[in-house]
Amino acid sequence: MCIQSASPRILRLMNRYDDMDQVEKTMLGLKGAGHGCRLIMQYILGFPSESEEDFLLTLNFIKRVNFDAVRIFKFSTKEATAAYEMKEKVLEEEMSSRKERLTAFLREKKITFDTVGF
């Protein structure tokens, strides 16, 4: 699932679908349906202006859905995109701290993960 964040504010900035209650309901429905369904989430950590609250919304979403795997992508800017023009960047130290907290949780819950761009 290319969810990329569980913060409606961040998702709106990304021009993505932001009804996270519906997304969570759908994910839990798929998980409960069985049939060998594996849920894998892709998360972009450090999107411009991502606050601690935004990060915690995503972390708590991952906890509630209990994904089978999570791919964590470090945000990187690309010229000629709206995100490139955003001024409020997340500091490298903050991204590293959040990555460590998230991966510690995933290890504890035995959820497979990989990191991209760190």
Q: Provide the pLDDT for residue 35.
A: 77
- Contact predicate 111/68, CB 8 Å: yes
Per-residue DSSP letters for 41-83?
Answer: EEEEET-TT--HHHHHHHHHHHHHHT-SEEEEEEP---TTSHH
Tell the CATH topology of 8-16+37-116: Transcription Regulator spoIIAA (3.30.750)
> Which amino acid is it at 18?
D
Higher pLDDT, 33 or 10: 10
What digits encode the pLDDT tens for the residues 35-93?
Answer: 788 999 999 999 999 999 999 999 999 999 999 999 999 999 888 888 888 989 999 99
**95 φ, ψ (degrees, to nearest 5):** -60, -45
- Contact predicate 54/99, CB 8 Å: no
**Domain residue limits, the chain:** 8-16+37-116
